[in-house]
Amino acid sequence: MIAVFGSLLSVPRETAKPGAHEPVMLTEVLEYLDPQPGDTVVDGTIGLAGHATALAERVGSKGTLVGFDWDAAMLERARERMVGAPLNALHLVRDDYRSIPARLAELGLAADGILLDLGLNSAQIDDPGRGLSFLQDGPLDMRMNRDDREPAAALLNRLTAAQIEDALREYGDERWARAIAKQIVERRRSAPLRTTNDLVECVLAAIPPRAREKRIHPATRTFQAIRILTNRELEDLEGAITAIAETLTPGGRLVVLAYHSGEDREVKHAFKALSEHGFQVLTPKPVGPTPEEIFTNPRSRSAKLRAIRRETTTPEGRSSWRQSQ
C-alpha cells in the first residue's frame, strides 16, 4: 500500500529511481537505528529519500515506512524515489514532523525506529525560486511550507532591529548581528527588501571585508538564521522530540541529525530529560561524520548525530510489545 496524505494518492509500484543524493552519515544512522525486517520505521524529514531508501531495504517486504515532509515538492521527489521500495506499506505524509504522534495514532501504528535529519537539503537550496541561496538571486521567501507563515522578506520588513538582531545571534551565531540588523532596517526605509541579493547586500555592507571569514560566505550565518526564523524550526523542538520519542515501542530508537548548535542543544536537552524516564542515551557525546565523508560530501561537515533507545518493558522486547497492541 502506498498512500500520500494531503492528496491521497495510489501510485503504481515501479523500479526505484537512482539518485545522486548522498544521505548524511548513512552508515551511522543505520547502526544506531538498527532497523530489523518487519519493523515500522518513520522518516520524519524524508527529503530526497536517501535515508528512507536504505531504511526500506532493511525493514523489507514485511516492514512499513512512514515518511514526513512539510515541503510538497520534496514529498513528491520522495514519492518518485520510493514507489518501487520493497515494503509492505509506505505512507507519505505532508506535515510537520511535530505531528508524528498524532499521525501515527491515526494510522494505528507504533514506531520501532524514527529518524529526524533536520534542516534542508541541496535541492531546496539550489532552487533560486525559494530564496534560500545567497549565491543566486531570487525572491526572499525561504518558506518550506508555502501554505502558511510569512515569507522572509515580510518578516524582515516588519520586525524591529532588536528582534532581527536576536534571531541572527540565536539561530546563526552571527557576531555581526547588530550591524546587519541595523543595515536591514536602514535599507528598508528607502525600499522594502524583496530579493536574496537585497539581503546579501545588507550583510556585505555590515561586515567589513577584513572581518569576513575566509571559509564561508559572509551571508551564510544570516541566511541560516533567517530561514530558521521564517520556518520557526526551533519552536519547541525539545518538546517535539520528547513527544516523538514517546511514540516508540519498547526497544525502539530515535536518531536525530542536527546541523547547528541551536538544534543540537535542543536535542541534547530532550534526550537528557528522556534518560530519566525510561530511555537510554546511546550517544553520550554527539557522533560526527568521518573525515572521508566530509571530503566526499562537505555538506555533512557540521552534522551531529544523537541517538536514544526506549527501555524494554518486557523481556521479549519490542516485537512482543507490538503483538500485544
Ligand X SMILES: C[S@@+](CC[C@H](N)C(=O)[O-])C[C@H]1O[C@@H](n2cnc3c(N)ncnc32)[C@H](O)[C@@H]1O
Residues within the interface to ligand X (CB under 6 A): 21, 23, 45, 47-51, 68-71, 74, 96-97, 117, 119-121, 144
Q: Which residues have CB under 8 Å from 129's CB, separation 6+? A: 138, 139, 141
Q: What is the nearest approach in angstroms of ligand X to the Cβ of residue 257?
A: 7
In terms of CB distance, is 120 or 206 closer to ligand X? 120
As measured in angstroms, the least distance from the Cβ of 55 to ligand X is 10
Q: Reduced to 3 states, what is the DSSP secondary structure of residue 163?
A: helix
Measured from the CB atom, the residue of 72 and 161 that comes closer to ligand X is 72
By beta-carbon proximity to ligand X, the closer residue of 47 and 252 is: 47
Q: Is 17 helix (H, G, I), strand (E, B) or coil?
A: coil
Q: Tell me the three cell numbers of residue 207.
A: 561586515
> Residue 234 CB, nearest distance to ligand X (Å)?
10
Q: How far is the CB of 270 from ligand X (least distance, A)?
A: 15
Q: Return the SS3 of 192.
A: coil
User: What is the C-alpha to C-alpha distance for residues 167 and 155, in angstroms, rounded to an integer?
Assistant: 11
User: CA-to-CA distance for 32 and 54, rounded, in angstroms?
Assistant: 14
The answer to whether residues 269 and 260 touch, using CB atoms and an 8 Å cutoff, is no
11: number of Cβ within 10 Å? 14
> By C-beta, is 47 or 251 nearer to ligand X?
47
Rounded to an integer, what distance in angstroms lies between the CA atom of residue 248 and that of residue 14? Answer: 31
Based on CB atoms, which residue is closest to ligand X, 3 or 161?
Answer: 3
Query: At its nearest, how many Å lie between ligand X and the CB of residue 44?
Result: 6
